[in-house]
Structure 1
């Protein structure tokens, strides 16, 4: 870990201090931004990827425990048929989560 610190982190911080002697001055230098990319952006992308995969697993569990269908007169009202398919399903219809006017599809 100390080699990593001496080789990558400390020179990046020194470069940052060298490039920004006073507040409001833009940091320049390709070496600084190269290190910022590898030390900051890459771990953030990895963490976001892990978060996305975990949320997909949680959604799969939620689909298994589907809410019971209750037919309310103010919900899923169809005054006109949709112009595609058989007219009952919306354009982005998902049979697992979207109910039709008379219940979920089996």
Structure 2
């Protein structure tokens, strides 16, 4: 951990004139972007992963509270059967979220 601190953090702080002690050399170009990647981008990606996981968990809870099926004239109209399976389900049919013409599958 101390090598990481001395190699990446302290030189970056030195550029901002916030260093706790003097570290020789000034980071330029690729070294600066390497520090930005490890110190900024990696934590941001981790936070996005946590956010995505939490939203998936919320969707799982809401899945049980699915809206009741209402048969409208203009929805689920089939002029021609699908060329696969029994012709009722679309190619990417999900029985938990997609209803058929008669309602949700059990």
Normalising by structure 2, we get a TM-score of 0.76
SS at match of 2:100: coil
Aligned residues: 94
- RMSD between aligned residues: 2.5
Partner of 1:11: 11
SS at match of 1:33: helix
Partner of 1:52: 52
SS at match of 1:34: helix
State how 1:9-88 maps to structure 2 within 5 Å: 9=9, 11-12=11-12, 14-15=14-15, 29-88=29-88
Aligned-pair distance for 1:11? Answer: 2.4
Aligned-pair distance for 1:31? Answer: 1.3
Partner of 1:22: none
- Asked whether the equivalents of residues 12 and 32 of structure 1 are also in contact (C-alpha less than 8 Å), the reply is yes
Unmatched 5+ stretches in structure 2: 18-27
Q: Which has the higher helix share?
A: 1
Q: Which runs of 4+ in 1 moved over 6 A?
A: 4-7
Normalising by structure 1, we get a TM-score of 0.76
Partner of 1:21: none
Partner of 1:91: 91
Unmatched 5+ stretches in structure 1: 18-27
- Asked whether the equivalents of residues 76 and 100 of structure 1 are also in contact (C-alpha less than 8 Å), the reply is yes
